[in-house]
């Protein structure tokens, strides 16, 4: 639809922009990428009072149009490039009323691009509490644009905002803010003439940012560079005088529109919370207590729903077995697809719980405090306080976490963060850990309340974070730095988490996990099933002939024979041959060829390990009764010795292997995309695989 | 005196900056000449620090704070 109204949401971080976006669009939204870059683009639709519908685009939060990260640079690129498919007809500028001065800096920049603007004044309640009195009408007439007070959290003022959007014309009404031409006399009009830019401020921004603007051609960018030389343009100086000029204008505007009553001296609640949460000792204790609760919850709360999902799949398999005609297709469906899927889908509850907690920590503002507390230590090991967010996010998934490192301004800090984030135990390892832990760690309580299995899981997580820190520290000495780092970050006021945001986040993450992982798993399960069910040459016929000979039929019962046949078939299948080939390499780690098959298939994604195990044991096992993967693995015996395959040593060796190994195609791809070279992902795969192999070797040899 | 020399609870008014590039970033975050600053707390390991400036809390490292000169 071409004639539809496009509205962009622009504002500082922590102003409630995402909340407003959710309120305006409801569940009617989708996430994609901005063309050419990997920045999340959230768009949605909003019904206007006049029954038109507007397309809402959520732009990344930023403090100014001068970007400090790739995400932030999107804002100017969308607003300045009229050919961009999401170039808006109207901007809703969302401002935090309790911090109007700093918020208006970005407003004045956006206003000077001369796109029609409406200001949504959020957090009026906070401003009230802080004794700030804003006369809306005065402010609106001074700036020349509609100002609508809203409360995105309480969904107040939303109708008035929609009304204002519906009434907005296509002509920018805002007052001029500063004398833009004076910031780079001659240069601005020259660029404007040559590139046919009608707005002087857009031309000035081109002068500042031409090297990174994707929509400028090389010739255009070179020409701007030439002109800058000609007019001896100094970017930092011009930016400093622009910022001062803008604040002078803002002070004029605010002088008689905002009254601040003197505070009554009582400390704000946020400050009192900070005293506890960022306390020298208490702060860290609380942080570890929170992590402890999260891991206990992952086990305790997920038990019931996981049991239900397991039973559902057992029931489904039984049903397909009994209703569908026996044959190859049914085998493929039950032993291949269903077995592979159930192995992974069963972990949805645990993943959902983990994502919910991470989302709550971010939403309340606590994550920013963790960043603040950790900066000094993180810097010691070559990271940055802001590395804490990707590293904690890495607990969920390395892919979005590596993308979130874009907020780290320093190149070296960012590279090291990218290199170590995949070491952090992501949710894809969770299925492997929980499966193996439940096999070898007793489900008992120590001191009456600490669950042993939960403790073992937490140990795996602590190990992953420690290893990330150690590797970072080593890399700090290896990677050469090019620039100095800095750390200037807003500490947002503490808030109650917005439960819809948490739920929405949880839903989206689980959906992505199921779809992305599900695709790979179904594909790999099918390939694996074929490889495990067929073998080279006529080996299968030979097996049948061998075991059906009187020599065997007299000695063993039919059931025993069936089991021996299936296991011999698996051993001689394509998958078996492959597993056998790598067996000599993995034997010292305690793995047999069946685990070898899983190691190969799970190179694409770690969670495939569980699915592969399920498929292998389903193909091998008899079809008369359906077990869960766990039961199948528990009863697995070494055919030669008759001892259990999954001993404590093997299980821990496997867990350590998966803790360190880079078994994830998506992460390799995202590292390539973010670092723009194959050098970094190659180094990463190499060092992680080596680390995994030797650590697993050590563990197995010690525990054996 | 420099902002980095203040203890928690102490206050001052921004006079000027010693580093042009850093000053641009600081001004965007609301640290402007003439603006009062209060040091709220210092992180457990002695760095960074949290300050209140133009109505909100900002955290910055001591090295960045040392580029801000205060009236006292």
According to the 3-state scheme, what is the secondary structure of A612-660? Answer: HHHHHHHHHCCCCCCCCHHHHHHCCECCCCCCECCCHHHHHHHHHHHHH
pLDDT band at residue A140 using 50, 70 and 90 as cut-offs: very high
Mean pLDDT of chain B: 91
Token couple for A71? 């995400």
Task: Judge: A491–B57 Cβ closer than 8 Å, yes or no.
Answer: yes
Using a CB–CB cutoff of 8 Å, tell me whether A254 touches chain B.
Answer: no
Over range A260-286, report the average pLDDT. 81
Tens of pLDDT, residues A337-376: 887 777 667 778 877 887 788 788 888 889 889 889 988 8
Is A240 within 8 Å of B59 when comparing Cβ atoms? no
Beta strands in A482-552, from DSSP E residues, in sequence order: 488-491
Residue A542's contacts (CB-CB under 8 Å, 6 or more residues apart) are none
Residue for token pair 């390539």:
A672
Residue A27 has pLDDT above 50, yes or no: yes
The pTM (predicted TM-score) of the whole model is: 0.79
CA of B27, closest CA in chain A: separation in Å? 7
Residue A684 pLDDT level (bands cut at 50, 70, 90): very high
Q: Report pLDDT for A170.
A: 84
Q: Which of A109, A124, A115, A69 is nearest to A92 (CA)?
A: A115
- Contacts of residue A488 in chain B, CB cutoff 8 Å? 25-26, 29, 58-60, 64
Within 284-323 of A, beta carbons closer than 8 Å to B belong to 284
Size of interface A-B (CB pairs under 8 A): 110
Tokens of B68: 């801000």
Task: Say what the pLDDT of residue A11 is.
Answer: 95
**A489, B27: Cβ pair inside 8 Å?**
no
Q: Return d(Cα A41, Cα A58) in angstroms, integer.
A: 7
pLDDT at A623 exceeding the cut of 60: no
For the stretch A594-606, pLDDT in tens is 888 888 878 767 8
Strand ordering across the sheet containing A40-47: A29-33, A40-47, A53-58, A5-11, A90-96, A117-122, A147-149
Output the six-digit token pair for A286.
């609380």
> A217-232, pLDDT tens digit by residue?
899 999 999 999 999 8
Asked if A521 contacts A345 with a C-beta cutoff of 8 angstroms, the reply is no
- Quick one: how many helices (H) and strands (E) in chain A? 33, 12
Write the CB contacts of A96 (distance below 8 Å, at least 6 apart in sequence): A11, A12, A14, A15, A16, A103, A122, A123, A126
Q: Determine the pLDDT at residue A299.
A: 67
Question: CB contact, 8 Å: A243 with chain B?
Answer: yes
Q: Is the pLDDT of residue A514 over 80?
A: no
The pLDDT of residue A45 is 92
Residue with the bigger pLDDT between A681 and A41: it is A681
Pairwise CA distance, residues A7 & A9, whole Å: 7
The C-alpha of A384 sits at a distance from chain B's nearest C-alpha, in angstroms, of 11
Cβ <8 Å between A102 and B47: no
Q: Which residues of B touch A247 (CB under 8 A)?
A: 27, 32
Of A99, A237, A371, the CB nearest to B55: A99
Query: Could you say which of A64, A237, A368 has the minimum Cβ distance to residue B28?
Result: A64
The β-bridge partners of A30 are A43
Please report the pLDDT score of residue A149 as a whole number: 94
The beta-carbon neighbor of B45 closest among A371, A377, A486 is A377
Query: How far apart, in Å, are the Cα atoms of A224 and each of A119, A220, A629?
Result: 33, 6, 64
Look at residue A422 in the predicted model and tell me its pLDDT: 94
Give the DSSP per-residue string, A100-146: HHHHHHHHHHHHTTT--EEEEEE-HHHHHHTTEEE-HHHHHHHHTS-
Task: State whether residue A385 sits within 8 Å of chain B by CB.
Answer: yes
Smallest Cβ distance to A243: which of B27, B45, B48?
B27
Contact status of A259 with chain B (Cβ, < 8 Å): no
Read off the pLDDT of residues A44-93 as tens digits, 9 standing for 90 and up: 999 999 888 999 999 989 999 998 877 888 899 999 988 888 899 999 99
B62 contacts: CB under 8 Å, gap ≥ 6: B4, B46, B47, B48, B49
Phi and psi at A487, nearest 5°, equal: -150, 95
Mutate one of A102, A274, A408, A495 to test the B interface: name it (highest B CB count within 10 A): A102
Test A236 with B30 for CB contact under 8 angstroms: no
Each residue of A282-295: pLDDT tens digit? 998 998 898 788 87
pLDDT at A624: 47
Any B CB within 8 A of A489 CB: yes
């Amino acid at each position: 639809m071409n004639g539809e109204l496009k509205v962009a949401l622009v504002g500082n971080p922590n102003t409630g922009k995402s909340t407003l976006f959710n309120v305006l669009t409801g569940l009617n939204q989708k996430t994609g990428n901005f063309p050419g870059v990997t920045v999340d683009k959230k768009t949605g639709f909003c019904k206007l009072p006049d029954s038109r519908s507007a397309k809402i685009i959520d732009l990344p939060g930023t403090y100014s149009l001068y970007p400090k990260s790739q995400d932030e640079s999107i804002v100017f690129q969308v607003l300045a490039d009229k050919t961009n498919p999401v170039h808006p007809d109207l901007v809703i500028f969302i401002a935090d009323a309790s911090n109007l001065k700093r918020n208006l800096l970005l407003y004045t920049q956006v206003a000077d691009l001369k796109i029609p603007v409406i200001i949504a004044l959020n957090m009026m309640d906070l401003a009230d509490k802080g004794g700030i009195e804003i006369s809306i009408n005065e402010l609106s007439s001074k700036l020349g644009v509609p100002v609508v007070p809203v409360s995105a959290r309480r969904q107040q003022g939303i109708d008035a905002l929609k009304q204002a959007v519906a009434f907005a014309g296509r002509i920018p009404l805002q007052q001029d803010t500063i004398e833009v031409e004076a910031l780079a006399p001659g240069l601005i009009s020259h660029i404007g003439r040559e590139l046919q830019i009608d707005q002087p401020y857009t031309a000035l921004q081109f002068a500042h940012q031409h090297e990174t603007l994707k929509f400028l051609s090389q010739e255009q960018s070179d020409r701007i560079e030439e002109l800058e030389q000609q007019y001896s343009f100094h970017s930092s100086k011009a930016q400093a005088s622009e910022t001062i000029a803008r604040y002078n204008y803002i002070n004029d505007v605010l002088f008689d529109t905002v009254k601040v009553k003197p505070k009554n001296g009582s400390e704000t609640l946020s400050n009192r919370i900070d005293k506890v949460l960022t306390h020298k000792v208490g702060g860290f204790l609380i942080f570890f207590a929170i992590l402890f609760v999260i891991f206990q919850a992952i086990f305790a709360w997920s038990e019931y729903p996981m049991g239900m999902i397991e039973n559902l799949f057992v029931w489904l398999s039984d049903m397909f077995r009994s209703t569908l005609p026996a044959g190859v297709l049914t085998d493929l469906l039950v032993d291949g697809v269903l077995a592979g899927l159930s192995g992974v889908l069963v972990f949805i509850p645990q993943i959902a719980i983990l994502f919910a907690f991470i989302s709550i920590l971010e939403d309340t503002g606590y994550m920013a405090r963790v960043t603040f507390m950790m900066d000094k230590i993180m810097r010691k090991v070559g990271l940055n306080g802001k590395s804490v967010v990707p590293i904690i996010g890495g607990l969920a998934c390395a892919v979005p976490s590596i993308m979130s490192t874009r907020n780290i301004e320093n190149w070296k800090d960012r590279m090291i963060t990218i290199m170590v984030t995949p070491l952090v135990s992501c949710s894809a390892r969770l299925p492997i850990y929980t499966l193996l832990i439940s096999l070898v760690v007793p489900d008992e309580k120590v001191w009456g309340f600490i669950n042993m299995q939960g403790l073992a899981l937490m140990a795996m997580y602590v190990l992953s974070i420690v290893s990330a820190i150690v590797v970072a520290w080593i890399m700090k000495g290896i990677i050469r730095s090019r620039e100095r780092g800095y750390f200037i970050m807003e500490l947002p006021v503490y808030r109650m988490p917005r439960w819809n945001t948490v739920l929405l986040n949880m839903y989206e993450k689980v959906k992505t996990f199921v779809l992305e992982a599900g695709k790979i798993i179904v594909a790999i399960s099918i390939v694996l099933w074929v490889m495990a069910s067929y073998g080279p040459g006529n080996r299968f016929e030979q097996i049948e002939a061998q075991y059906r000979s009187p020599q065997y039929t007299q000695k063993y019962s039919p059931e025993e024979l069936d089991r021996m046949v299936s296991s011999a078939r698996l051993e001689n299948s394509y998958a078996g041959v492959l597993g056998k080939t790598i067996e000599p390499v993995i034997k010292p780690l305690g793995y047999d060829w069946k685990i070898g098959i899983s190691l190969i298939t799970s190179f694409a994604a770690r969670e495939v390990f569980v699915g592969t195990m399920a498929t292998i044991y389903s193909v091998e096992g008899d079809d008369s009764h359906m077990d869960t993967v766990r039961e199948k693995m528990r009863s697995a015996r070494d055919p030669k010795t008759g001892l259990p395959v999954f001993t404590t040593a093997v299980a821990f060796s496997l867990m350590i292997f998966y803790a360190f190994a880079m078994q994830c195609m998506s992460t390799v791809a995202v590292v390539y995309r973010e670092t723009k070279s194959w050098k970094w992902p190659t180094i990463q795969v190499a060092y992680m695989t080596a680390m995994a192999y030797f650590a697993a070797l050590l563990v197995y040899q010690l525990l054996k | 005196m420099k902002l980095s020399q203040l203890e928690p609870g102490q206050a001052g008014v921004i006079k000027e900056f010693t580093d042009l590039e850093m000053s641009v970033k600081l001004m965007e975050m609301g640290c402007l000449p003439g603006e009062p600053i209060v040091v709220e707390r210092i992180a457990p390991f002695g760095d960074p620090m949290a300050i209140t400036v133009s109505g909100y809390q900002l955290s910055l490292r001591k090295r960045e704070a040392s580029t801000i000169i205060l009236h006292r």
